[in-house]
């Protein structure tokens, strides 16, 4: 692997919850009424999409919220990242009347740049040697130096994903780490993107026979939200550790 560390250009954190939600209950004013957002935050919300009963999507000064019937996604670019976990939790426990969560992911995305394409190639070759692809791959490896600054003709690794599936902190799930080539040129550097999907899911077959009065205690939804609270900070640190290990062996 290359000895020089790439430069981190940007990173973001997101939580995507899958299940059943009521998008209209995620309108900024509704979230302000339930204390999820401050009044000032709600007033400053800038809508990207709004279809009554189907889609609510808006941005705030710290991130964005998207709600559709089967998905709730909250994303931020700014610290403290835990704010999106708090917002997700507060939406589902206080703003939504009967949410159902079947799975969620804590997603980290990092955009890095190397000064030259050769350095990015070194990362790609280390992660997936072209020689492992037979004569076809060896041909690609042989052509890389000659076309090093011509993006349209430059072959090599585009995307690779590694999965960790045996995790004891969740009923089911995985950690997927993918590395993808990004755009680049000699002035800005040669980009690549690392995405980490820390995925948790539960089955309702583990629900207790008798649920609490509000129908949630011990339910899959509650167990998943508890997992979100318990694991969020650790997930962020683990993602940073994975990336550091990937880039600085």
Query: Which one of the spans 38-46, 138-146, 154-162, 171-179 is the region binding another protein (CB under 8 A)?
Result: 38-46
From candidates 1, 48, 69, 70, binder to another protein by CB under 8 A: 48
Rounded Cα gap, residues 169 and 226, in angstroms:
11
**Which of 86, 138, 171, 176 lies at the binding interface for another protein (CB under 8 A)?**
86
Under the binding rule (CB under 8 A), the answer on residue 247 touching another protein is no
Contact 67, 26 (CB under 8 A): yes
DSSP string, 27-96: SHHHHHHTTSS-HHHHHH-EEEEEETTTEEEEE-SSEEEEEETTEEEEEESSS-THHHHHHHHHIIIII-
**First-to-last C-alpha distance (Å) of the chain:** 8
Residue 151 sits in the site that holds another protein (CB under 8 A): no
Give the interface segment with another protein, choosing from 33-41, 134-142, 161-169, 192-200 (CB under 8 A).
Answer: 33-41
Q: Is 248 in the site for another protein (CB under 8 A)?
A: no
Q: By CB under 8 A, tell whether 54 contacts another protein.
A: no
**Orientation of helix 82-90 relative to helix 220-247, angle to 10°:** 170
Residues that bind another protein (CB under 8 A): 7-11, 29, 35-36, 38, 40-41, 43-50, 59-61, 78-80, 82-83, 86-87, 89-90, 93-94, 113, 183, 185, 187-189, 212-214, 217, 233, 236-237, 240
């Amino acid at each position: 692997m290359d000895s020089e560390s790439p430069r981190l250009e940007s990173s973001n954190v997101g939580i995507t919850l899958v299940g059943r939600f009521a998008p209209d209950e995620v309108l900024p004013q509704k979230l302000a009424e339930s204390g999820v957002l401050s009044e000032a935050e709600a007033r400053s919300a800038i809508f990207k999409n709004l279809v009554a009963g189907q889609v609510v999507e808006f941005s705030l000064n710290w991130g964005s919220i998207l709600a559709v019937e089967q998905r709730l996604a909250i994303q931020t670019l700014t610290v403290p990242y835990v704010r999106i976990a708090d917002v997700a939790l507060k939406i589902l426990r206080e703003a939504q009347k009967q949410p159902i969560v079947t799975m969620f992911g804590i997603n980290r995305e990092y955009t890095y740049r190397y000064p030259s394409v050769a350095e990015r190639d070194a990362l790609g070759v280390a992660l997936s040697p072209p020689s492992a692809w037979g004569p076809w791959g060896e041909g690609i490896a042989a052509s890389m130096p000659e076309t090093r600054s011509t993006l349209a003709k430059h072959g090599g690794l585009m995307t690779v994903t590694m999965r960790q599936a045996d995790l004891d902190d969740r009923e089911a799930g995985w950690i997927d780490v993918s590395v993808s080539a990004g755009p680049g040129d000699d002035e800005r550097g040669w980009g690549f993107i690392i995405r980490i999907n820390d995925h948790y899911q539960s089955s309702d077959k583990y629900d207790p026979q008798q649920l609490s009065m509000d129908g949630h205690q011990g339910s899959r939804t509650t167990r998943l939200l508890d997992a979100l609270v318990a694991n969020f900070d650790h997930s962020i640190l683990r993602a940073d550790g994975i990336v550091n290990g990937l880039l600085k062996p």
